[in-house]
Structure 1
Amino acid sequence: MTLQEIQRQLLRLKEKDFIPSRRIGATGIGHTLEQELNLTETNLSIPDIGGRIELKATRKNSNSLVTLFTFNRSVWQMDKKEIIENYGYLDERNRRSLYSTVFYAQQNPHNLRIELDKSNHKVHLHHHSGVLLTTWSIYTIIGKFISKLERLLVVLADSQTNEVSGKEEFWFNEAYLLENPLPDNFLTAFENSQIAIDLRMHLKTTGVVRNHGTGFRIKESDIINLYADRRKIL
């Protein structure tokens, strides 16, 4: 699929005006866009701009968070099961869980906080008691950001609730091709509490840890600011 073909499809989608979400919840916008573009994956192959490109759909004027990437390999400073048992909570299904979003310089409701150690190029996640839970290399995080999101196609939509059906509807009417991610802008967004670390794990009834991956997430409206080159294609 070429960039011109994508532009034609997006223009066709814009002309359809509001369309109902094909899935309930926060992920409905991305799933609906993929279905409308007849995609089975969340990335595209666009030969005329250099190959693979990540695709993300966002709601305009939204403060919701979208996942940039997940990374938690070799970062744990104590056993994940012990972390959940000691610092987690019982969820609505009576499971010991730790689903917790943490922003830099803010202690969250689960008493977790992020420390940015620039001199040693590390990011640490602590419990307020002082216990160290995880440590990331800043270089590794930046490397993951650049390799995963070297090129990004962001499609923005107005969102509304249908008065009759009660379902969310989207009007996909703006799109940008983003290239050349900026490491300094990523760190600035992190320090400005625009990027969060999101723990997503619980204990199964067998006592085994179910880890959905630790996500690095950003407010939908702030993604564009992470890139040097922004080309409007719709």
Structure 2
Amino acid sequence: MLSLSNIDVAATLEKFKERGVPVGFLVPTETGLKKSIMDAHEGLRRFFLKQNLHDYDKQLKGTENKKEIRTLLIHQDKVLDTKTSLYRPNSKNGDPRVWVYNLKKFASSGDLIALCVFEDSLIAINCTRTDLRTLFDESNRLFCQWFPIKSKDISEDARELLEMLSDISARQFIPTMRRGDTGVGFTLESLLGIEANSSKAPDFRGIELKTSRARKQTNKQTTVFSQVPNWSMSNLKGSKDILDKHGRFNPQKERRQLFHEISCIKPNSYGLQLALQDNNDTLAQIYVPDPLNQNKKEKDVIWMMDKLVERVEEKHKETMWIAAETKGKGASEEFWYKSVTHTTGTDSAVLPILLESGAMTVHYLIRETPTGGAKDQGYLFKLAAKHLPTLFANITHYDLYP
């Protein structure tokens, strides 16, 4: 489990993203090191598949069908030429396994191991014990040979949009066209000639726009996508069931409601927590009635990881994340759109990592209707702005106005 890592997984992932190196992660346990075996979790399997290295779904069970891949194991300033085995045992439903030979000589329980693909080989890096800045430096000829620094191209539509945003930025502070939190996005889209709508389709010629106030960007979370649970596979069959079980009465609003953030790290004040299960194939929202008894858990709803990956890929094939400096409040608020982060492509293997590390959380926004029913405002998957680069394959930052 990546949550057992002795260093920050999300922060380490961001370093690989900044360098432009696709990566998957493993965290060996004490038992795994003794038995020379580790689970190939869903995120790692997806990474291998996307890198055209290995498809566990097509692999037959048994050691006779084991696949061995040449591996260069990096530990501090040392490089060891070894192998990694990928296989599915006859027992335990053939759950996918992975093992880097000689790993126990160079890693301890809890160390974060990065796996990168170079041609038909693996590069295994003990991130806990290796200075990644030195490893990624342009002066490191060997690493640059494996992963050259690439130039970034943008589409004509993206270039035109950047020019339009630069023109808007040159106007500096612009009065809001709508009061409240949504004013910053509504005003920009109005200036770009985009009509407000509830469609899930991208905003500008296939490019999604996400606008936020710069002063809140570092710590405030951004909604990346929304996805309802798989009700047919869940114990609770809808928002009404969730509200009935976990909602609490709000005397000011005179209604029951459930407005809460939920993460994989620990149960919130309502006893709700996320958990990656079935080798990361599913994400569950569980209920822990007694904080002192973590063994007693109730599974409320689940999401299939494939569906979550599909949703984020659909939503953010190409996105411009615009930051605006603000002044004033309410109807007198003004925006100066000053910078853009342009992202293209998503890294599907990263989603389970962000969830398990607590960098991405789920937000319930459910309230009781006057007739006693339940109304939800979406099941929102949110990510802090500082972690956004980790989710995408390519990212470029632009200052719109000097």
Please give the TM-score of this superposition, normalised by the length of structure 1: 0.85
Distance 1:221 1:119 in 2: 27
Asked if residue 65 in structure 1 is aligned to residue 221 in structure 2, the reply is yes
> Structure 2: where are the runs of 5+ without partners?
1-155, 290-296
Aligned to 1:27: 182
- Aligned CA RMSD, in angstroms, stands at 2.3
Aligned to 1:102: 262
Asked if residue 144 in structure 1 is aligned to residue 302 in structure 2, the reply is no
What amino acid is aligned across from residue 78 of structure 1 in structure 2? L
Structure 1's 3 and 118: CA in aligned 2 closer, same or farther, altered over 3 A?
Answer: same
- Asked if structure 1 preserves the Cα contact closer than 8 Å seen for 2:229 and 2:301, the reply is no
Structure 1's 41 and 178: CA in aligned 2 closer, same or farther, altered over 3 A?
Answer: farther
Aligned to 1:191: 356
Asked if residue 88 in structure 1 is aligned to residue 247 in structure 2, the reply is yes
Aligned to 2:375: 210
Deviation beyond 6 Å, 4+ runs, structure 1: none
Structure 1's 191 and 74: CA in aligned 2 closer, same or farther, altered over 3 A?
Answer: closer
Mapping of residues 149-188 of structure 1, within 5 Å: 149-161=316-328, 167-188=332-353
Distance 1:96 1:146 in 2: 34
- State, as a whole percentage, how many aligned pairs show the same letter: 21
- Asked if structure 2 preserves the Cα contact closer than 8 Å seen for 1:195 and 1:219, the reply is yes
Aligned to 1:231: 396
Structure 1's 25 and 17: CA in aligned 2 closer, same or farther, altered over 3 A?
Answer: same
Task: Return the match for 2:236 from 57, 72, 78.
Answer: 78
Distance 1:93 1:12 in 2: 44
> Structure 1: where are the runs of 5+ without partners?
47-51
Distance 1:98 1:198 in 2: 10
Asked if residue 126 in structure 1 is aligned to residue 286 in structure 2, the reply is yes
- Asked if structure 2 preserves the Cα contact closer than 8 Å seen for 1:58 and 1:220, the reply is no
What amino acid is aligned across from residue 267 of structure 2 in structure 1? Q
State the Cα distance separating 1:105 from its structure 2 match: 0.9
State the Cα distance separating 1:166 from its structure 2 match: 8.0
How many residues matched?
227
What amino acid is aligned across from residue 221 of structure 2 in structure 1? L
- Asked if structure 1 preserves the Cα contact closer than 8 Å seen for 2:277 and 2:283, the reply is yes
Bigger Rg over Cα: 2
